[in-house]
Amino acid sequence: MNPLLQDLEKILVSEDAIKKRIDELGIEITRDYLNAGVQELTIVAITNGAIIFTADLLRKIPLRTRLDCVRVSSYQDETKPIGEPQIIDNIRLNIHGRHVLMIDDILDTGRTCSKIVHALKTKNPATIKTCMLLDKKGRREVAFEADYVGFKIPNEFVVGYGLDFAENYRSLPCIGVVKAELQNPPEWT
């Protein structure tokens, strides 16, 4: 057994459920783009959280894909949330006239995704869609809905499959909630 699992109070999404949902998302996304006559995509992943999800999802989308990443300032280790997330490393690929699919791990307040979508739009892509592994709908502070969502989850702080608590647990194959006694309460929830 993976010893990290002992730190979880509960598992919200199992490894099998993630695999099955990624298969479905791959089929759905591929079908939607092909129906729209699109054969090539530019994937923009938000590091670090989206890395594992992106790696698995990409291999279920049998279209031509280009891949790039955006890094956003993290506020989880700060004592206070910094207001607006800032892009600290932008994409290198030219997306002018391209079809962009932005991928992230979780849609929470919506600030990160709306900021990045806005920034990407200024580069004049042909289309831009978004795909989130998780959606914590109750937490939204800015209006933002993703085109594709893996799982809707309740308002709990989750880790695993790319998501971290103070940089731990990203490698867990499932998504779960860390035991309360192991959490210095995340300052930004």
Closer residue to ligand IMP (CB): 30 or 147: 147
Tell me how far, at minimum, the Cβ of 46 lies from Mg ion, in Å.
6
User: What is each CA distance from 117 to 56, 65, 120, 149, 150, in whole angstroms?
Assistant: 22, 19, 5, 16, 19
Does residue 125 bind ligand IMP (CB under 6 A)?
A: no
**Nearest Cα to 63, choosing from 29, 87, 91?**
29
Stretch that binds ligand IMP, among 53-61, 62-70, 87-95, 110-118 (CB under 6 A): 110-118
Q: Is 125 an interacting residue with respect to Mg ion (CB under 5 A)?
A: no
The token duo for 95 is 């997306």
Provide the 3-class DSSP secondary structure of residue 100.
strand
Task: Say whether residue 157 binds ligand IMP (CB under 6 A).
Answer: yes
CB of 155 to ligand IMP, least distance (A): 9
Whole-number Cα distances in Å, 172 to 8, 88, 95, 140 = 10, 27, 33, 26
Q: Which residues, 11 to 50, sit near Mg ion by CB under 5 A?
A: 49
Task: Note if 89 is an active site residue.
Answer: no
Beta bridge partners of 141: none
Q: Is 108 in the site for ligand IMP (CB under 6 A)?
A: yes
Q: Quote the crossing angle between the two packed helices 51-58 and 15-35, to the nearest 10°.
A: 60
To the nearest whole angstrom, how small is the minimum distance from the Cβ of residue 105 to Mg ion? 5
Residue 43 contact, options ligand IMP, Mg ion, none, Cβ 5-8 Å cut-off depending on partner type: none
User: What is the C-alpha separation between 84 and 114, in angstroms, rounded?
Assistant: 11
Chain residues binding ligand IMP by CB under 6 A are 49, 85, 104-113, 157-159, 163
Which amino acids are annotated catalytic? Answer: 108
Chain residues binding Mg ion by CB under 5 A are 49
